[in-house]
Amino acid sequence: MSLLQKKDEIRKFLGMKHWIVISLMLVAYDVVAVSLAYFLALWLRFDCSFNSIPKYFFESWQVFAPFYAFVCVIVFYSLRLYKVIWRFASYSEMLRMMAATAVTTVFHIAAITVFVKRMPISYYIIGPVIQFIFTLGIRFLYRVYNFIRIDPRFERRASERTNVMLIGAGSAGQMLIRDIKSSSGLKDKIVCIIDDNDNKWGRYIEGIPVVGGREMIMSSVVKYGVKKIYIALPSATMAQRRDILAICQETGCELKNLPGMYQLVSGDVTVSNLRKVSIEDLLGREPIKVQTDDVFDFISGKTVLVTGGGGSIGSELCRQIALHNPKTLIIFDIYENNAYDIQLELREKYPDLDLVTLIGSVRDSRKMFHVFEDYKPDVVYHAAAHKHVPLMEDSPCEAIKNNAIGTYKTAYAAMVHGCKRFVLISTDKAVNPTNIMGASKRLCEMIIQSFDSKIKAGEAAQIPQLFTHYTKTESGKEKLDVSRNAEFFRNIKTEFVAVRFGNVLGSNGSVIPIFKKQIEKGGPVTVTHPDIIRYFMTIPEAVSLVMQAGTCAKGGEIFVLDMGSPVKIDTLARNLIRLSGYKPDIDIKIDYTGLRPGEKLYEEKLLAEEGTKKTENEKIHIGCPIKFDTDKFLDDLNVLMDEAYANNADIRSLVAGMVSTYHPQGSGEYCEREK
């Protein structure tokens, strides 16, 4: 039976926790150790000969030893030396042991001298030294034992170990090394460290050499047989991380990254906190931060409706809105599975949230009127839309019905039911659109601008109410009598705004999931053109900026989110292949399929005719709207709706007549679905 098994048997027999058994064993050891320490002091004083020790000195030690051992146990207990996890013992535990030795030494000198007998001077000096060595030594030997012991449950051969390179010789790196060394179950072994600080080169941390800066990464991987690279640079900028990650990707090693500073501040730097390097880490820019106080003040206590609330953008809107204490949150979506998923998630995280989940279509006037009549939303985030470019090219009338007409009907219902603010989620594809999806979203922006313009002019009654079915509800409220409600329309104060941004990483239909599926199948990864570029942002970043923009709106604006520098899709594909452990063009091929009709090499954030105005947030700009004939546009929209529901094959020509910047280039399927 092994020592570990014997300890387990004793613990089970006594019915105690493991640490209590260890503590009791330490108490027994300390009783013997402190008594033996002062006996050895006598023995050394008299030339290491027991027979040379005078009888009165030996009897004095013998009488005093039990009392002294008892006092030592009390002092050690009061300094919590029996509750320390000694496998993690460090400098603070050593200081406490020094303090305990000092206190007990003073007691020993005073008590034995006054109440028993004065002892030799060397006894008072040598005794405490031996006691400190005995009591501290056994505790730190336990830590050393845990480093070097070979237990049958965790035994591993040297050949099974995975050599790891650590990038970062700072505090986070040191914590990571200690965690790996103290974890018996890990097969990782850090063999070298990389750091750009040349003052650390050629030196050692925990016995591991700092071999050089980033230029040594490639050669050190070969020299030390590295299979994994851990990056512990919590204070580095995104650009610095991107540059280092670009080098690390060329090695073919598995990459893991310590996300940020909060782990270092909390002292929670462990292997379990490392995460795989994601494509977001390679964008090379700092995460966008948003002032949440204004958003909280705007959302708190209000009823908020999110259309398309089950989608990638809509669901993240719901998550962030739930954080800001709304009175009621309404999730509205036509796809019940997505709506159900976000409903379950929010109910689990926010059990006190007044959450309503509704299934329906924004194209249904009667449904939208019922929703607004029943719940009276104060704020609407309109995220419901068809967004897949290639699918909409094949079904252009559906893009018009759902995006343009659905936005119109939702906006009208919001206006006549006292909604305070309506925020449209738009896209950079609405800028100089070459596809019907982008053109339909530009129509949405024009609808929002038209509503705002009419309301500010006191002409809300002139906004036509569009219907595909004219049957009235029982209450008669669906089709409003404008002449009879003239005063009502003059008092409408709803503010309509749009927020425009580019591609979001990980959203439904984005290039990232498509590339991942292609890589899983062994390739090839299809890119339309080696020079095609897109703007990218993470979903939480985009949504937080949408909410910030909606907070500072005054009505009629098209807010444009600054998405940083554009990224080549080709570079994105190659990085993703490397992150998956393959080599581009060797393990996974990249095929260039050519631009399809309607696809552009680059997306624009603003129309050339627009300009920008600054806001308090440097990441949010306001596009100055292009002027157009609002009355003619609203009349044409009524015709466009009829033609869309008639599935007119020439719908693109009608849209081009309404959106002057739309230049259709034919139809067809696209290789990439970017939103």
As annotated, the active-site residues are 429
Residue type at 454 in one-letter notation: K
Residue of 127, 67, 64, 138 lying closest to 101 (CA atoms):
127
CB atoms within 10 A of CB 319: 17
What is the C-alpha to C-alpha distance for residues 344 and 350, in angstroms, rounded to an integer? 10
How far is the C-alpha of 312 from the C-alpha of 410, rounded, in Å? Answer: 20
- The DSSP bridge partners found for residue 275 are 257
Tell me, what DSSP letter sits at residue 292?
Answer: H
* Closest to 101 in 3D by CA, of 27, 34, 164, 4: 34
Count of alpha carbons within 13 Å of 445, Cβ hemisphere only?
Answer: 33
- Amino acid found at 237: T
Distances (CA, A) of 185 to 152, 190, 547: 11, 15, 45
Q: Is 160 helix (H, G, I), strand (E, B) or coil?
A: helix
8 A C-beta contact, residue 305 and residue 330: yes
- Partnered with residue 332 across adjacent β-strands are 307, 358
> What is the CB-side half-sphere exposure of residue 54 using CA atoms within 13 A?
8
Q: CA geometry: angle at 623 spanning 620 and 624, to 5°?
A: 145
Report phi then psi at 314, rounded to 5: -60, -40
Q: Give the residue from 473, 624, 486, 500 showing the smallest Cα distance to 559.
A: 500
Cis check for the bond before 524: say yes or no (omega within 30 of 0).
Answer: yes
Dihedral pair phi/psi, residue 660, rounded to 5°: -65, -25
Residues in CB range of 327: below 8 A, 6 or more apart: 301, 302, 303, 354
Contact by Cβ (8 Å): 333, 314: yes
- 406-418 as b/e: b if 16+ CB within 10 A: bbbbbbbbbbbbe
Within 10 Å of residue 650's Cβ, how many Cβ atoms?
A: 9
Residue 561 CA to residue 580 CA, distance in Å, equals 31
The β-bridge partners of 192 are: 165
Dig out the tokens for 231 from the structure. Answer: 């990056």
